Amino acid sequence: MNIDWHTLKELEKDYMRKQLALAGPPAPSVIGIDEISIQEAT
């Protein structure tokens, strides 16, 4: 399609803004914990 990289990036950002507007604000019902770090004080 020979589109400039910056133009493509702006098109993608516009698409994602529209998708986020359709999805609405996040409302998680569950929060998961992926990792826990325990460090000793020195």
Per-residue pLDDT of the chain (42 residues; tens, 9 = 90+): 799 999 999 999 999 999 999 999 988 899 899 998 888 887
Q: How far is CA 12 from CA 1, 4, 19, 25, 26, in A?
A: 15, 12, 11, 20, 21
Pair of tokens at residue 26? 């996040």
Which pTM value belongs to this model?
Answer: 0.57
